[in-house]
Amino acid sequence: MAKKKRPERQKDKSIPFKERISTFKEVPLGFTVRQALLEAERCLECKRPRCIEGCPVSVPIKDFIQLIKKKEYLKAAEKIKEKNALPAVCGRVCPQEDQCEKVCLLAKVDKPVAIGKLERFAADYEAKKLKEPKKPDVKKVSPRRNIKIAIIGSGPAGLTCAADLALMGYRVTIFESLHEPGGVLTYGIPEFRLPKRIVRREVNYIKSLGVELKLNHAIGATLQLDELFERGYEAIFIGVGAGLPQLLNIPGENAVGIYTANEYLTRVNLMKAYLFPGYDTPIKIGQNVVVIGGGNVALDAARTALRLGARSVTIAYRRTENEMPARIEEIEHAREEGIIFRFLISPVEFLADDNNVLTAIKFQLMELSEPDESGRRKPVPVPGKFETLPADLAITAIGTKANPLITKTIPGLKLNSKGYIEADEFGRTSREGVFAGGDIVTGAATVISAMGAGKNAAQAIQEYILKKYQIKQKI
Ligand SMILES: Cc1cc2nc3c(=O)[nH]c(=O)nc-3n(C[C@H](O)[C@H](O)[C@H](O)COP(=O)(O)OP(=O)(O)OC[C@H]3O[C@@H](n4cnc5c(N)ncnc54)[C@H](O)[C@@H]3O)c2cc1C
């Protein structure tokens, strides 16, 4: 009998780009049931599935894909949630091309299985069919009920740590400084990539596991970390991210019309500028917008500016497209939408009119050096070559660093030279009972790496509590 031909890698549809650029509707539409079945069929069902090793939270990828193959879509969603409390988020924003899909065996002979899109499919299917997400059937292992654990920060690191500890049977409370939970998922990543209803649903799922959420609690200001111990929390996980924007420190940076991406995206997402005229948020709508940077944050800011009504949006990046850290899918979408890319240019001065309102940006032209010992080619200035781009709105997206609000207020907590918390791979810090993970330890990274850190810390907290109680019981 002839061997069955493997289906091609499926691609989901996107909303037409003309419609896209004037709305904040989600761009990729996700797989249809037929596409999910065809894609699931492509899985080789490897004996040693490398994809799972490539996933920082070890999602049982092979098992959930097999369930999709059997048309058991709800069970597939449940299977993912054994390891990942945010499947619809991860199915949308994870850089799968650098993780699970990169090590998929099929990639040696064909395109890898579209694992991320299948994850999204299973999570979205569940959301369509069930009002309340189903909890995975996991055995509680907490030594005693009523042991209280505090989590500081409700981004992906904190949410994951909280969900795992709740599933183990602990009483978990998350303290979040903002009025909405989700961290960057809520205030950073725009609606057209990650609709807020998706984040809300997954946060509600985590709450349904018994996690309490205290919003408007900035630890280090509203309450100190040691006060949490005094209130009976036996271990504390810090997952406060690294949201303090870096500045360029070049002349003219205080002109009117210059935002950091962090401020710009927060105004749009959290203060709902994208719902104008329903919400009249103070934000400048640029005509000629220039975004400085080459990562996901820069692309998010650029595509947001376009949707808010800019006539032209340019991304200015000091390296070339090959070095851009943004996800390939996002670069493709941005191109389709008409974002202009300018490579090998680096800003040296913001120019403003007599009222200090931004009018243009002066750039130094750059080239890439010969590779150094690590093989990396650095951008270096081309002597005497400059170019000026007109701009009435500039958004800088050149990275973020640790916010010292909490770290500086914790006696005995070791920080590294850049101000990030020193922690081992299980999140153990220099303070007993204090664990940390996510961007506040690694610097700006990814959703899934923050989730992996939250998961490892939950294990370490469990070990810490078990040990503590064995000692107490002996006394
Ligand atoms: C615009 C943008 C787009 C991105 N796109 C992607 C993407 O497509 N894919 C991807 O994988 N990654 C992406 N990232 C990176 C990713 O979002 C982060 O790496 C990840 O969110 C880090 O998770 P975290 O839990 O460590 O911190 P965060 O998500 O930053 O969450 C920290 C939380 O702690 C709260 N907090 C801070 N200080 C305190 C305090 N003192 N007390 C109480 N609460 C506090 C904050 O308000 C926040 O809610 C993007 C980042 C940005 C900014």
Rg, C-alpha atoms of the chain: 23
Scanning the structure block, which residue is given the tokens 């990046």? 317
Confidence category of residue 276, pLDDT binned at 50, 70, 90: confident
- What 8-state DSSP symbol labels residue 255? S
More confident of the two residues 17 and 38? 38
Ligand 1 within 6 A of CB of 183: yes
CB atoms within 10 A of CB 140: 10
Confidence category of residue 143, pLDDT binned at 50, 70, 90: low
Q: What is the pLDDT of residue 87?
A: 96
> Which of 101, 119, 202, 296 best tests ligand 1's pocket when mutated (most atoms within 8 Å of CB)?
296
Strands 212-214 and 379-390: unpaired
Q: What is the pLDDT of residue 247?
A: 96
Flag whether pLDDT at 22 surpasses 90: no
pLDDT in tens, 311-350: 999 999 999 999 999 988 889 999 999 999 999 999 999 9
pLDDT in tens, 449-464: 999 999 999 999 999 9
CA-CA distance, 190 to 164, in Å (whole number)? 27
pLDDT in tens, 165-193: 999 889 999 999 999 999 999 999 999 99
Tell me, in angstroms, the distance from the centre of ligand 1 to residue 147's CA.
Answer: 27
| Residues in CB range of 341: below 8 A, 6 or more apart | 314, 315, 317, 321, 334, 335
CB atoms within 10 A of CB 58: 14
In ligand 1, which atom is closest to the CA atom of 221? 41
Average pLDDT, the chain: 92
pLDDT in tens, 413-448: 999 999 999 999 999 999 999 999 999 999 999 999
Flag whether pLDDT at 472 surpasses 70: no
List the one residue out of 169, 193, 159 whose CA is nearest residue 453: 159
Q: Are 391 and 289 in contact (CB under 8 A)?
A: yes
Give me the mean pLDDT over the 102-112 stretch: 94
Burial label for 235, CB within 10 Å (0-12, 13-18, 19+), is: buried
Q: Are 350 and 358 in contact (CB under 8 A)?
A: yes
Q: What is the pLDDT of residue 474?
A: 43
Flag whether pLDDT at 228 surpasses 90: yes
Strand partners of residue 351: 360
pLDDT in tens, 371-410: 888 888 899 999 999 999 999 999 999 999 999 989 999 9
Burial label for 277, CB within 10 Å (0-12, 13-18, 19+), is: exposed
- What 8-state DSSP symbol labels residue 235? E
Q: Where are the alpha helices (DSSP H) in 209-327?
A: 225-230, 261-269, 296-307
Ligand 1 within 6 A of CB of 300: yes
Q: Which amino acid residue places its CA nearest to atom 8 of ligand 1?
A: 93
Give me the DSSP letters along 313-346.
Answer: EEEEESS-GGG--S-HHHHHHHHHHT-EEEESEE
Burial label for 242, CB within 10 Å (0-12, 13-18, 19+), is: buried
Q: Which amino acid residue places its CA nearest to atom 38 of ligand 1?
A: 240
Domains defined along the chain, listed by start: 17-129 (1.10.1060.10), 148-243+402-474 (3.50.50.60), 245-396 (3.50.50.60)
Give me the mean pLDDT over the 131-160 stretch: 81
Ligand 1 within 6 A of CB of 219: yes
Q: Are 312 and 291 in contact (CB under 8 A)?
A: no
Tell me, in angstroms, the distance from the centre of ligand 1 to residue 241's CA.
Answer: 5
**Dihedrals phi, psi of 324, to nearest 5 degrees:** -65, 125
Ligand 1 within 6 A of CB of 456: no
CA-CA distance, 220 to 208, in Å (whole number)? 28
Q: How many residues does the chain have?
A: 475
Lateral strand order in the sheet of 233-238: 212-214, 171-175, 148-152, 233-238, 434-436
List the one residue out of 134, 12, 139 whose CA is nearest residue 74: 134
Flag whether pLDDT at 273 surpasses 80: no
Give me the mean pLDDT over the 74-102 stretch: 94
Mean pLDDT check: name the lowest of 132-146, 310-324, 359-373: 132-146
CA–CA–CA angle 201, 174, 59 (5° rounding): 55
Ligand 1 within 6 A of CB of 239: yes
In ligand 1, which atom is closest to the CA atom of 175? 43
What is the share, in percent, of the chain residues with pLDDT greater than 70?
96
Ligand 1 within 6 A of CB of 94: yes
In ligand 1, which atom is closest to the CA atom of 444? 19
List the one residue out of 434, 418, 415 whose CA is nearest residue 426: 434
CA–CA–CA angle 100, 103, 106 (5° rounding): 105
Ligand 1 within 6 A of CB of 365: no
Ligand 1 within 6 A of CB of 35: no
Ligand 1 within 6 A of CB of 379: no
Give me the mean pLDDT over the 193-218 stretch: 95
In ligand 1, which atom is closest to the CA atom of 153? 34
Flag whether pLDDT at 270 surpasses 90: no
Ligand 1 within 6 A of CB of 243: yes
| Residues in CB range of 244: below 8 A, 6 or more apart | 400, 401, 402, 403, 404
Q: What is the pLDDT of residue 473?
A: 43
In ligand 1, which atom is closest to the CA atom of 447? 11
**Dihedrals phi, psi of 386, to nearest 5 degrees:** -135, 160
Q: What is the pLDDT of residue 20?
A: 86
CB atoms within 10 A of CB 368: 17
Burial label for 80, CB within 10 Å (0-12, 13-18, 19+), is: buried
List the one residue out of 366, 354, 281, 276 whose CA is nearest residue 319: 366
